[in-house]
Structure formats: structure tokens, C-alpha cells
Amino acid sequence: MKTGPALEVKGLSIKFGDFTAVDDVSFSVARGEIFGFLGANGAGKTTAIRTLCGLLVPSSGSALVGGLDFSDGGKSIKKIVGYMSQKFTLYNDLTVGENLDFAAGLRKMEPRYAAKRRRELFELIGFDRPLSTMVASLPGGVKQELALASAMLHDPEIVFLDEPTSGVSPGSRARFWALIHKITGLGKTVIVTTHYMDEAEQCGRIALMRAGRLIALGSPEELKRGAFPGPMTELDFKGAEAGEFISALKKAPGLLEFSPHGMRWHAAFRDQAALSAALAGLPVSASAGLIKPSLEDVFIRLIEGAER
Amino acid sequence: MNGFDIHRSAAVARKEVMHIMRDPFTLVLVMGLPVLLVVFFGFAIDFDVKNLKLAVYDRDNSRVSRQLVSVFDSSGYFIPSAVSSPSRAITGLDSDKFSAALLIEPGFGRDVGRGALARAQFVADGTDNSKAMAVLGYLPGISEAALRKFGGVTRSDPVPLKARYMYNAELNSRWFVIPGLAVIIIGLLSILMTALTVAREWENGSMELLLSTPLKPAEIIAGKIAPYVVLILGGVLFVNLVARFGFGVPFRGGIPLFLGGTLLFIVSALSQGIVISVVTRQQQLAMQLSMISGLLPSLLLSGFIFPIESMPVFFRYFTMILSPRWFMEIARGITIRGAGAADLAVPLLALAALSAALLAAAFKKFKRDLEP
């Protein structure tokens, strides 16, 4: 097992003409970590991932992937990473075996070694159908797991997953994430992008991106503490007329965030005193309870709040 | 290309073969199109105009004039039928009942007997240009045959010109058309197939995945097109076999030279397909662009049917940048004339230059467009 960080990114920028997709981003990822990229569409997550697996060359700044740099245009990086793209999983008109043989052929793997890896990975993902199964006939979740197996066939040190669970059922998502934990248990590093907050909660650390910039970095707990140092309360007006109270609350001193969540509202304050003062005029029929902020609250505060 | 790896390329080619085997549409297209074209151009489309309805108004009605009509009849090109007035003949042309009319003046037989200038008028329907040209082409032969029949009484031509058609003595149009079919087949299929197969990888996002492996663009391109080269060569072979044994079209030149020229042309067409796929990145659009850019030049501007010499000046020069034009010359030259490499130096060099240029464009475009 090699030592040193899996990723070491310093001042990384990626430009397409005048457009800066990734803007001066720095972070480092330890081996065996699950590192998540969170952000809206177009925030630069996919571009960052594509660069780190050798598909794009940085415009400026530096990035070491598994200790390797881009001096050869990403060629050697491609050998030690596995990549699962957002859109494509496997060729539907080929069988499971043909897909995996193709993946092995692209990596010039010895047939015997490829077969051994295939058996190991099938065991890992719990795949027990015949190799002659057409991929088109597999359910979405199984396809996704097989795509992961295909991306890991050459035993990469670092696995990049770009929205791996988009479009699969909640049950399959849970299964897939259990798989991600298994992989890091084997000493692999997993870099993942996602839209789902519950998935982000499972990452060791999260990089929050907005408009190409890294705006927050840390574990889910750290992000929550950073965004909401004070208490957060959930307000339920139970259908009562509360327009006046809400407009007053919005101007209350010490209010950090106030946003609707379904029929309820989340209000975060700088400290306990600000909360008590602001909720003094709460209508009698309404209820307020302290809650722990979720990553969704963090996302709203840091990403959407900045856009307001 | 430094570090081109044949094994990775072979993996791509193997996968492509599996795609082809699983997709009946591709197979039907590649196998069916040559068959369809051969049947179409071999049987249905015949530029030799035969059995034309000829209106005959014979005011002379002498032995000699009847002999003239019988010469038209026995030529096989015309079916004469008598009409009662010149205007009937003309209305017959108007209504498309007749394709041509023969009007014989009174005294025709007498003038022929005297060796004087005998008058008969031939009217052809000029609506269909190529038909009219073909009909007029028969006239010298017919008048010569008629004079012979009239009994050696010839009006001596000051400079007697006799035409003999070399390589295709009967001017059989199948000889002219069928070797050109290889051009159409390669032109269309190569462009279409590569455009579709590469566009498909872009469309479903797998191109990105391919590029995330150590696979190089050159390896992708080579692996992608190799199976189609084989398929398309099969199509060309089929057309040539049918031409030879089905229609008796000769193959007079060298097979290696023909293969070389064919490969050059295939490369140019495949490169064009790759450029199209990289530009469009969508199968639908790639298909439409391939159809237009693959079929129209080889059908209309290659000299397949319309001679380049008779095109407007602009098009005459324009055809020079179209690879089908050069390959048409090569294909016909080798099969019909038995031309060698030296005879075909100009078209071969032009085709090689165009292929190299298109291949370079394909690589460049492909590499540059890897970035989103």
C-alpha cells in the first residue's frame, strides 16, 4: 500500500476559453476516504472529477493523483484510477461478460487475472447471474453495481463516481452506498458527486462547490457547525394565519436562515438569546422545537443563500 | 501516433463486431444496399433507349421510302406506326403517344434514285434530354444502313468518318454503370456506418468512459473502423462478382491496384464519417448529414451518371475536392479499360492526397473535441 494522500490539489483551475469551470480549488484527500462533491448543476463538480481522473488537463494550479502529476497529459493517472461517468454505465446490447471483457481489453489485462478480478468483484457486489446475461435485461441498480465492478476491474487505487445513483430506486441506492463503504474498507479511495443529501451525509468529508469555487470543506458535522453555530428551530403554524409573525421574524436580529420546509419552517439564529427574543411573539397555536440542522439546511444556507 | 497499441485497438474492434452482430439494421443495410443497387442499376435502369414509338407519315409511299421505314423497324430501337397526317404525328408527340416522328416528303424515292438530295424529316421529343441524345445517336447508323439498302447509291461524304468505340464496343451502359456502384456503396456505407457508430459513443456517454482508460483516440478510430472496412470490402466484392458473372461486365485491370484504390477511397470516406460524428455527436443528425454528404456527391458529381466535362465550370473544379470523383475514374479505368497505375497516376495521387487530408482532419477534430 502506498503512502501519502490520494489527492493533493493546490490552486486548481480549469478553463474552457473564457469560462472558468473550476476556480482556484485546493484540498487534499487521504487514502481510504469517501470524499463527496456537493453542489448545484454546473457548479464544477463533474469538471473537477473529470480532471482528476486524467480526462482534462488543469489550466493552472497543480494536482497530484495517487502521487502522480499531469506531466504526461494524464496518461499514467488513467492507469491507477477507475471512473464511472454520470450518463453511461454499460453497453446494453452486449452481455455482462462481453462488457467486462471489453473493459479488461482496454486495460490490457491478462485474461486469467481479469477472470480472477471478475470473480472477486462479483462476490463483492453479490452478482450471481450468468455472464451471458444481456445488460439490457438487468434492473437499474444491478447495472450500476456492474458498472462499478467494470470501473474497478483493473484494481484502481482511486475510484471516481460521478452521480452514481441518479435514476435508481432508493433501495438500490442504499445497496450501492453499502458497496462504497465496502470498497473503502479495502483501502480504496472513493471520490463521489451527488445531489442527494442523505448520500452526502455518508461521506467522510464533503467539498461544497458553487460556480467553480470550493465554498466549504469538512465532514458533514463540521459543515453543519460552521454554517449554523447557534440553535435551529422548526416552526409549525398548524395552518394558522402567521403572515405578520413571519415578516417580523424575517427582520429579527440574529436570524441566520429562515426557509420553508414543506408545511414547516426552519429558523436558525446566532445564539440562544436571539432565538428567544425572536420567538417571543409566536402565535399560541403554533409550535416550535429545537432541531439539528441537516445538510440540506447547510446547502440552502451556503449555496442558495449566496445566490439570493 | 506514438505508443499506438494494437491490443487495445483490437478490443475496440471486437466490441464493434459484437455491436454489429446484435444489430440487424446494420447488417441488413450493409448486405442489402449492394444487392438493391445492383438490381436497380443492373436491371431497371438502362440508358440504352429501345422500343421507341415512331410516328411515320410517308407521303412518298415509294419502294425506297418503305425501305427506309423498314430500316428503322429492324434496328430494334424503333417501333414505327403510320399516321395519316403530319399534324397527327405532332399531336402524338404532344400526348407522349410517340417519342419521335419520321416525315417523308413526296419525291423521296425519286430523289434517292437520281442521287439528289432526298428529304426526310426526323422529329424527336426533346423533353427528356438524355433520351433525345440517345435517339439522335442512332440516326447516323440508320442512315448508313438505309443507303446500303437503297443499292449502293451513296452520296459520297467528302471526309468519311467511321467511329469505333474502344473498350465498350456496343456502348453497353451496364458496363459503364455497374463498376461505378462500388463508389456509391463505399461512399454511402462507410460514411454512414462510422458516423453512426462513433456518434453513438458520444450520444450515450461511453466515449468519456473510453477516454478515461489509457485508450488513445487513434486506437479508438482504428478499432472502430476496422470491422466496417471488412464489411464494406465484402460489399464491393459482391458487386464486382455480380457485375462479372451476372452482367458480363469485364474486369480487365489488376486486382491489387483496384484493391489499393478501394482502400484509399474507404479511408477517405471513413474519415469523413468520423468528422461528421464528432461535429454532430448525435446519431440522428449524423445519419442525415452522412446521407447527404455521402450520397449526393457520389451520385451526382462523381461522373457516375453525368459527365464531369459537361458540368458548369464551377462544378468541374468543385468535383476535384470530392474523393468519389477520383475513385470513379479509377474504378472504371481499371475494370473497363484495364488501366495500370501509370495511366491512373493523377486520380490515384489526388485520391491519396484527399484521403490523407480527411484522415488528418478526422484526427485533429477528434482530439480537439474530447474536451466538453
In chain A, domain spans: 7-219, 229-292
Indicate the DSSP class of residue A204: S
Residue pLDDT tens, chain A, 308 long: 567 889 999 999 999 888 999 999 999 999 999 999 998 888 889 899 989 988 888 999 999 999 998 888 888 899 999 999 888 778 999 999 999 999 999 999 999 999 999 999 999 999 999 999 999 999 988 999 999 999 999 999 999 999 988 888 888 999 999 999 999 999 999 999 988 888 899 999 999 998 899 988 999 999 999 888 889 999 888 877 778 888 888 888 888 888 888 888 899 998 888 888 888 878 878 888 889 888 888 888 887 765 54
* Helix, strand, coil percentages for chain B (3-state, nearest 5): 65, 5, 25
Q: Could you tell me the domains of chain B?
A: 6-45+173-368 (no CATH), 52-149 (3.40.1710.10)
* Residue B122: exposure state from Cβ atoms within 10 A (0-12, 13-18, ≥19): middle
CA distance B284 to B274: 14
Contacts of A94 in chain B (CB under 8 A): 15, 18-19, 22
**Given B14, B206, B208, which is nearest A91 (Cβ)?**
B206
Q: Contact, B98 vs B62, CB < 8 A?
A: no
The DSSP code sequence of A102-158 is: HHHHHTT--HHHHHHHHHHHHHHHT--S-TT-BGGGS-HHHHHHHHHHHHTTT--SE
Contacts of A75 in chain B (CB under 8 A): 214
Indicate the DSSP class of residue B252: -
CA distance A291 to B142: 107
Parallel, antiparallel or unpaired: strands A81-84 and A158-162:
parallel
Residue pLDDT tens, chain B, 372 long: 457 888 999 999 999 999 988 888 877 887 788 878 877 777 766 666 778 888 898 888 888 888 888 888 888 788 898 888 888 888 888 888 888 888 888 888 888 777 777 778 888 888 877 777 777 778 877 777 777 777 655 555 545 556 666 777 666 777 777 778 778 877 888 888 888 888 888 888 888 888 888 888 888 888 988 888 888 888 888 888 888 888 888 888 888 999 999 999 988 898 888 888 888 888 888 888 888 888 888 888 888 878 888 888 888 888 888 899 999 999 888 888 888 888 889 999 999 999 999 988 888 887 765 554
Task: Locate the chain B residue with the closest alpha carbon to A88.
Answer: B205
Query: Which value, to the nearest 10 degrees, does the dihedral of the CA atoms of residues B138, B140, B141, B144 take?
Result: 150
- Which single residue is written with the C-alpha cell 473564457? A18
Q: Contact, A58 vs A14, CB < 8 A?
A: yes
Q: What pLDDT does B1 receive? A: 42
Q: Does the domain at residues A7-219 carry the CATH identifier 3.30.530.20?
A: no
- Calculate how close chain B gets to A13, using CA atoms only, in Å: 15
Q: In what order do the strands lie in the sheet with A205-210?
A: A81-84, A158-162, A189-194, A34-39, A205-210, A213-218
**Given B206, B213, B215, which is nearest A88 (Cβ)?**
B206
CA distance B120 to B173: 30
Q: Contact, B327 vs B261, CB < 8 A?
A: yes
Q: How many residues does chain A have?
A: 308
User: Are residues B204 and A81, on separate chains, in Cβ contact within 8 Å?
Assistant: no
* Partners of A16 in the β-ladder: A19
Task: Locate the chain B residue with the closest alpha carbon to A56.
Answer: B371
Which B-chain residues 169-228 have CB contacts (< 8 A) with chain A? 204-206, 208-215
Instruction: Tell me the backbone φ, ψ of residue B270, rounded to 5 degrees.
Output: -65, -40
- Chain A residues with at least one Cβ partner in B under 8 Å: 16, 47, 50, 53-56, 75, 78-79, 81, 83-88, 91, 93-94, 98, 101-108
Phi-psi region of B367 (alpha: psi -120 to 50; beta: other; left: phi over 0): alpha
Topology (CATH level 3) of domain A229-292: Alpha-Beta Plaits (3.30.70)
Which residues in chain B belong to E strands, given as ranges? Answer: 52-58, 78-82, 100-104, 120-124
Type of residue found at A236: D
Which residue of B213, B215, B216, B370 to mutate against A (max A Cβ within 10 Å)? B213
Is the entire prediction scored with pTM above 0.80?
no
